[in-house]
Structure 1
Amino acid sequence: MEDEDRLYRLNDVAHVAGYIDKAPTKVITGVRRQQNMPLHDRIIPYLETAGLYHLARLNSQWFWVDEPPLSAFIERWRPETHTFHMPFGECTITLQDVAYQLDLPIDGKPVSECLTEFENLMEHGRPAWLFADKNTNQVHLRWLPYLASLDDLGRYSWGSAALAWLYRCLCRGTNRNVVNLAGPLQLLQSWIFWRFPTLRPSGFDGFGFPLASRWAIYLLRNDAGNQRLVSARLSLDRLRVHDFVWEPYSSAEIAVVIHLEILVDEHRRLWMAITSLIYFAAIEWHQVDRVLPQFGGVQHLPQPALNIDWLHAKDGRGGDRWFSTYYQEWHQHWENQLHSIIWVDIACIFHDTSDDLIR
């Protein structure tokens, strides 16, 4: 078994779990995103090629995140393992969840370039498009090479990039000094609703694809956020193994609505890869061997958690870099992903992960 002092080493540094008594009602505020942004007809074919058009169409009805319960989950997120530590064991958001929840492609090139590419593009007179940012009316320059070559957008692994960015935002959110949080928090909230029935809002029985669209008209409650945070913590403290849906995507109802493209082997096999997740300078680790019951497997003793604390301090600032060279080791992990796919021993009888599942 892993040494607890190593596994929870961040508690005595800045992890919010070590400071709950000092700030018992601290609620993380999600960055508000702009809705109802117009979508030009000329852009739609490129978004379709990239497999992103369905997300663009959801822009006008994307649900708001419920910050108090999300804050309670963030308190249980461990940057050391990239998993939520619950009373019944560990669970996390995987590439499988990204495929089902957002219908994003998994296989492809990592989303990672360098700002000097923008200069090269401008020298050759190639066009670049600017879209509105969710905070202001600007976007980072690093996106310009992608927008200047829209025909190539379909070559990239947008699913792994989205998960890398969510992991990074969750890791940042565990810092007790952080009060605002960006990232694809709708993915996190939809994952919670699908896997934790006791936390799911009522009246959302029907669904389509992607599965996150199920909550498109979800409205936030207006009661006190700090009281709801305390209530959410208590709900998580009381969770047992039967309160978590380990395989929510195995039902016949979901098989009817999903797009079969996400089940193509080149994408599906990567769900079980222990590999790097890359979003520019954000490098995270997909350690699915810690959550094998989410794939119907028996939870064997996982590999020791990889210490990437130093990578969490990297944000791409401090000069221009070609990320694929600067982070060559981690890009190599992604390139060699097929060699890091693990086999799952299917569990015939399900057991509590906190007791006798590990063998």
Structure 2
Amino acid sequence: MPYLELAGFGSVALIRSSDLRFDLLSALVERWGPETHTFHFPCGECTVTLKDVALQLGLPIDGSPVTGVSSFTDPAALCYQLLGDSPEDGESYFSGIKFTWLKAKIGQLSTTATEGEFMCAARAWGSAVLAMLYRELCRATNPDVVDMGGCLILLQSWALYRLPFLASFIWMPYRRPEIANVVPSSAYVDSHIWCTNTPIINFNVVEWYHGDRVLRQFGCIQPIPFSPCQVGVVHDMTKRRRFQMDWGIKHQKFVALWNYRLRRIPQMVMATDPQPSSEYIQWYYSCRKPYILKGQLTVIPLHVQQLGGSDATSPMDPDPMAYYPPQPAEPE
């Protein structure tokens, strides 16, 4: 645990394992919008946010982007140096390490394990968690994917927090006393970027984080959002045959956008009621997936209470460097 704490994975290590509910995960995939990186429910858009990652996994979410040169002259030697072992020939091409190999090597430590073995195990465990987390964020945007990998525990836990009875969506689950009382204050350190609108980067992977589209998850009024930003051909770029690619240079435009994350925070108006405005619902029902909304594209539910402050049309945001007045999100 001390080594996991130093690596920033102490909170993750305390998470208990649970069985995956594949029917629930499949239902979530059906409602995923790859163009916005949000789930489309009758109540509006919602998604797994940086806030969920911070409060549920306790992982750091701010800092420099994960990028640079992703290959090494002798990857086998580096793997052995960090993990105390390396995959046999045929088990890995060193574009990644299989979780099955990690589990077999460090799943159980003997009672006589040395300090060096503990340090290797801490590094390996952390690498697996990050690999699962980022893979899920990236793979879920592809509508052709027929299976799922990555940190599915986070996705399932998010759904169980937000949809405990599958009857309605809970916008602010972390405000409940039984949850708020056990969340450490350190989880709120990076709350100022929870709702930013910026790309998130992991070497070749660039995905857009639209925190400004789900402001109700941060206790704020949700206006009609800008058109979603796209990353273009970069979206499907892989490391294949790009052994010495410096991804920080290749994606320098997106790195610059991430570095401007504090200036890309939308205007935030705290809400007294989580219900959206009638203008937002009218817009949402006119452009979302019809089979999710039972074909009723323009019907405004009777329970919707108008909050005001929204326009009836969606503004365009053609410039990804558009300025968002800085206004840090308040911890809940």
Cα deviation, residue 100, structure 1: 1.0
Q: Please show how residues 292-303 of structure 1 align to structure 2 within 5 Å.
A: 292-303=215-226
Instruction: Answer whether contact 2:132 2:149 (CA < 8 A) is retained.
Output: no
Does 2:157 match 1:190? yes
Report whether the alignment pairs 1:248 with 2:173: yes
Q: 1 or 2, which has the higher helix percentage?
A: 1
User: 8 Å contact 1:291–1:299 — kept in the other structure?
Assistant: yes
1:46 maps to 3
In the superposition, the TM-score normalised over structure 2's length comes to 0.67
Q: Is the 8 A contact 1:73 1:84 kept in 2?
A: yes
How far residue 330 of structure 1 moved from its aligned partner, in angstroms, is: 1.2
Alignment of 1:128 onto 2:89? no
CA contact (8 A) 1:164 1:284 kept: no
Over aligned residues, Cα RMSD in angstroms? 3.2
2:188 equivalent in structure 1: 263
C-alpha displacement at 1:138, in angstroms?
Answer: 6.2
Secondary structure class of the residue paired with 1:136: helix
Native 8 Å contact 1:92 1:291 kept in 2: yes
Tell me, in whole angstroms, the C-alpha distance in 2 between the residues paired with 1:134 and 1:119: 18
The 3-state SS of whatever aligns with 1:354 is: helix
Distance 1:116 1:163, change over 3 A: closer
Shift of 1:96: 0.5
Deviation for aligned residue 1:244: 0.6
- Please identify, of 126-135 and 318-327, the stretch whose mean Cα deviation from structure 2 is larger: 126-135
Superimposed CA distance per residue, residues 73-99 of structure 1 (whole angstroms, 9 cap, x where no aligned partner): 101101100001111211111100111
Whole-angstrom distance in 1 between the partners of 2:157 and 2:86 = 26
CA distance in 2, matches of 1:138, 1:315: 23
- Cα distance in 2 between the residues matched to 1:159 and 1:79: 23
Q: CA deviation at 1:131?
A: 7.8
Out of 38, 41, 55, the position equivalent to 2:12 is 55
Distance verdict in 2 for CA 1:75–1:120, change over 3 Å: closer
Give runs of aligned pairs for residues 83-102 of structure 1, distance below 5 A: 83-102=38-57
Per-residue CA deviation, residues 27-83 of structure 1 (Å, 9 max, x unaligned), is xxxxxxxxxxxxxxxxx543211211332354xx42232111211110110110000
C-alpha separation between the residues in 2 aligned to 1:191 and 1:48?
A: 23
Deviation digits for residues 286-344 of structure 1, max 9, x if unmatched? 11111111111111121211123422211222222111111111111222212212231
Is 1:342 matched up with 2:266?
Answer: yes
Paired amino acid for 1:56: A
Alignment pair present for 1:354 and 2:281? yes
Look up the match of 1:80.
35
Give distance in 2, aligned partners of 1:278 and 1:162.
Answer: 15
The CA distance in 2 between the partners of 1:164 and 1:308, in whole Å, is: 17
Aligned residues: 252
Answer whether contact 2:8 2:59 (CA < 8 A) is retained.
yes
Distance 1:120 1:193, change over 3 A: closer
What percent identity do the matched residue pairs reach?
35
Unmatched 5+ residue regions in structure 2?
88-96, 104-118, 283-305, 312-332
TM-score (norm 1): 0.62
1:1-359 aligned within 5 A: 44-58=1-15, 61-117=16-72, 119=74, 127-129=81-83, 133=97, 135-137=99-101, 164-172=134-142, 174-175=143-144, 178-199=145-166, 243-264=168-189, 267-320=190-243, 321-352=245-276, 354-355=281-282, 356=306, 358-359=310-311
Larger Rg over CA atoms? 2
The whole-number CA distance in structure 1 between the counterparts of 2:158 and 2:186 is 20
Structure 1: gaps spanning 5 or more residues: 1-43, 140-148, 200-238
Q: Distance in 2 between matches of 1:304 and 1:263?
A: 29
Aligned mates of 2:130, 2:258 — CA distance in 1? 10
- Shift of residue 354 of structure 1? 2.3
* Higher normalized contact order (CA 8 Å, seq sep 6+, divided by chain length): 1
